[in-house]
Amino acid sequence: MAEGVKPRVKAPKSASAGEVVTIKTLISHPMESGQRKDSSGNKIPRSIINRFTCDFNGQNVIDVTMEAAISTNPYFEFEATVPEAGEFKFTWYDDDGSVYEDTKAVSIA
Amino acid sequence: MRAFATSRATTSRLAMTIAGALAIAATPLFADEEADLVLNGETEMVVRTAAPDHLSDTLDEIYSGWVFRNDDTQVMQADDFDNPGMIFVDQAMEAWAAADGSEGKSCASCHDGPESMAGVRASYPKWNADAGEVRTLWMQINDCRENQMGAEPWKITGGDMAAMEALISVQSRGMPVNVAIDGPAAETWEKGKEIYYTRYGQLELSCANCHEENYGNYIRADHLSQGQINGFPTYRLKNAKLNSVQARFEGCIRDTRAEPFKPGSDEFIALELYVASRGNGLSVEGPSVRN
């Protein structure tokens, strides 16, 4: 079980209809690769965020598969079109089965 | 302004991937040696200013290490969301409120919110009259832990300490470094100055050889800064964590192939005071982002 995991999202609170907005996300996570050994020579088991998704009003915006070579605290920056008022839903899937979620509402200005 | 090397890393875009970033839409923001640092689009930071009086014989202008970093690293520090050092500030917020030690106290028990620390980072290291010594920020934190909280002191160069220093530093961001070098601190300051100009190690290098005489030049692949510490603790892309001043001193002296002083030694406390005073006038930046 990874400790200190905390998702963070930066997204605009409002946009004009059809506007392309930039979204930044970051989740603090050690992203243990499974390749390292501890001081007594035992392999440290892999523990990473293996998938990240973003949906807007139920429609998928981005769906990312992550592998072990991605470094600590994975950061994603991407663009999304906002056709209507609604809610972005962000989901991170951990190797240990934990699912971390965050949401950001966007209004139409 | 001394001429900076003109050859720029043409692969600087690669730096975007270092922090585990998958930059699907990289924002085309460019900064350079002449750029100004505006934090979160609102706080203007002083990254270059006239050298303090005590340096007037050797330097005209002092520069934050931010000036010497490449565009992507500069941009990363300009926004708190992009600054990976802020993750550790979040962690320190929890430590601030968490009771530890035999007295059942947390930082918040005496100091309320971390906002009460505004201005502290800018004036440290400073003379502590009761203790009769120059105290760095980490000395003061450990003094609180041991004598007020009854808790174990933190390792000087450890992660808990660096994170707490970052949290305290954030409260002073944008304020000018203003370390007192006169009065009772003068003796320690002189000692630090002597260390700064002493050549150490098989390479026979002093701090000044690189950071005063050759800033702006390259030492192998490394773009030398003035060695200012206004940005500490600093998040380094190379090790993905916050780095403390004392650990950086140890690393620098090790790189001269010398036997370094120990973090927390009288020598490094004196050096921290002296080096901090060379940045008097620059904005407090910690946690900064460096390579």
To the nearest whole Å, the CA of A101 is away from the closest chain B CA by 18
pLDDT for residue B192: 97
Q: Is the CB of B84 inside 8 Å of chain A's CB atoms?
A: yes
User: Helix B266-277 and helix B186-196: axis angle, to 10°?
Assistant: 90
B107 among annotated binding-site residues: yes
In a domain, A96, yes or no: yes
Q: How many domains does chain A have?
A: 1
B199 among annotated binding-site residues: no
The C-alpha atoms of residue B24 and residue B137 are separated, in whole angstroms, by: 40
Closest C-alpha among B243, B249, B241 to residue B265: B249
In a domain, B219, yes or no: yes
Closest C-alpha among B113, B95, B80, B194 to residue B149: B95
3-state helix/strand/coil string of B200-214: ECCCCECHHHHHCCC
The secondary structure of B118-169 as a DSSP string is TTHHHH-SEEETTTTEEE-HHHHHHHIIIIIS--PPPPTTSHHHHHHHHHHH
In a domain, A1, yes or no: no
pLDDT for residue B139: 97
pLDDT for residue A2: 73
In a domain, B190, yes or no: yes
In a domain, B2, yes or no: no
The C-alpha atoms of residue B193 and residue B190 are separated, in whole angstroms, by: 5
pLDDT for residue B32: 66
**So what's the ipTM on this one?**
0.82
The C-alpha atoms of residue A11 and residue A23 are separated, in whole angstroms, by: 5
In a domain, B25, yes or no: no
Of residues B29 and B181, the one with the higher pLDDT is B181
pLDDT higher than threshold 80 for residue B172: yes
Strand pairing category for B288-290 and A59-65: unpaired
**Is B20 in contact with A4 (Cβ distance < 8 A)?**
no
pLDDT for residue B5: 40
Q: Please give the distance of CA B12 from its chain centroid, rounded to a whole number.
A: 23
pLDDT for residue B190: 97
Closest C-alpha among B283, B271, B252 to residue B134: B271
Residue with tokens 């965050």: A102
pLDDT higher than threshold 80 for residue B118: yes
Kindly report, residue by residue over B209-218, the tens digit of the pLDDT. Answer: 999 999 999 9
Chain A residue numbers touching B88 (CB-CB < 8 A): none
Token couple for B270: 């004196």
Kindly report, residue by residue over B123-151, the tens digit of the pLDDT. Answer: 999 999 999 999 999 999 999 999 999 99
The C-alpha atoms of residue A80 and residue A87 are separated, in whole angstroms, by: 12
pLDDT higher than threshold 60 for residue B8: no
The C-alpha atoms of residue B89 and residue B170 are separated, in whole angstroms, by: 8
pLDDT higher than threshold 80 for residue B19: no
Q: Is B136 exposed, middle or buried (0-12, 13-18, 19+ CB in 10 A)?
A: buried
Of residues A1 and B233, the one with the higher pLDDT is B233
To the nearest whole Å, the CA of B225 is away from the closest chain A CA by 27
Enclosing domain of residue A55: 6-108
Chain A residue numbers touching B90 (CB-CB < 8 A): 6, 28
If you count DSSP H runs as helices and E runs as strands, how many of each does chain A have, helices first? 0, 8
In a domain, B13, yes or no: no
- Global pTM reads 0.85
pLDDT higher than threshold 80 for residue B9: no
A16 near A53, Cβ under 8 Å? no
Mean pLDDT in consecutive groups of 10 residues from the start of chain A, 109 residues: 85 94 94 93 94 96 94 93 95 94 94
Q: Is the CB of A71 inside 8 Å of chain B's CB atoms?
A: yes
pLDDT for residue B146: 96
The C-alpha atoms of residue A23 and residue B25 are separated, in whole angstroms, by: 10
pLDDT for residue B7: 36
B54 among annotated binding-site residues: no
DSSP letter, residue B144: I
Closest C-alpha among B20, B15, B241 to residue A70: B20
pLDDT for residue B221: 85
Chain A residue numbers touching B87 (CB-CB < 8 A): 6, 26, 28, 73
To the nearest whole Å, the CA of B17 is away from the closest chain A CA by 9
- What is the pLDDT averaged over residues B94-100? 95
**Is A28 in contact with B87 (Cβ distance < 8 A)?**
yes
For chain B, give the percent of residues with pLDDT over 90. Answer: 85
Q: How many domains does chain B have?
A: 1
The C-alpha atoms of residue B44 and residue B173 are separated, in whole angstroms, by: 10
pLDDT for residue B22: 42
Closest C-alpha among B71, B60, B47, B68 to residue B1: B60
In a domain, A61, yes or no: yes
- CATH number of B258's domain: 1.10.760.10
Count the neighbouring beta carbons within 10 Å of the beta carbon of residue B273.
26
**Is B26 in contact with A77 (Cβ distance < 8 A)?**
yes
Paired with B21 in beta bridges are: A75
pLDDT higher than threshold 80 for residue B200: yes
The C-alpha atoms of residue B264 and residue B156 are separated, in whole angstroms, by: 7
In a domain, B283, yes or no: yes
Count the neighbouring beta carbons within 10 Å of the beta carbon of residue B183.
10
In a domain, A75, yes or no: yes
In a domain, B27, yes or no: no
- CATH number of A72's domain: 2.60.40.10
pLDDT higher than threshold 80 for residue B17: no
